[in-house]
Amino acid sequence: MIQRLLDGRLAGLPRFGFSIVDVRDLADLHVRAMISPEAAGQRFIAAGDFMWMEEIAATLKSRLGARAAKVPTRRLPDLVVRSLALFMPPLRMLTPDLGRRNALTSDKARRVLGFSPRPAAETIVDCATSLIDRRVVQPV
């Protein structure tokens, strides 16, 4: 999704959002769960801050400047997203979640394992920077 935003492949931003967790924090949580006796037989949610697509786009624009020039900023009305979903199967999966904020919490992982995920904005920017850098060094 970050790559699609950076490339300007989205015409606009649906009212869709999700909890952001950095893969580095997810790996850290896995290690903590494997070595902690308190984690035996338990399940943990690795969830970070919730962000709407509009917030993600705004973060990319404000933190990356010209490198995020193609990131869209206009919101797509729900009716438009639902209409487009008739012709674009990937959008069909999004329509039930339009405008919905799913409440996920990593409180148990924080309490039992000392899990402390990075801020979502940092994760978004680090991901985008990695994608941009990777694109630069790849052979043409």
Calpha distance 50→53 (Å, rounded): 10
Mean pLDDT in consecutive groups of 10 residues from the start of the chain, 140 residues: 91 91 96 95 93 96 94 92 87 85 91 95 96 65
92's enclosing H/E stretch is helix 89-92
* SS3 of residue 117 by DSSP: coil
Query: What phi-psi label fits residue 44: left (phi over 0), alpha (psi between -120 and 50 degrees) or beta?
Result: beta
The pLDDT score that the predictor gives to residue 136 is 54
The pLDDT score that the predictor gives to residue 90 is 78
Tell me the domain boundaries of the chain: 2-132
The pLDDT score that the predictor gives to residue 106 is 94
The pLDDT score that the predictor gives to residue 61 is 96
CATH code reported for the domain at 2-132: 3.40.50.720
Q: Which residues contact 119 (CB under 8 A, 6 or more apart)?
A: 48, 49
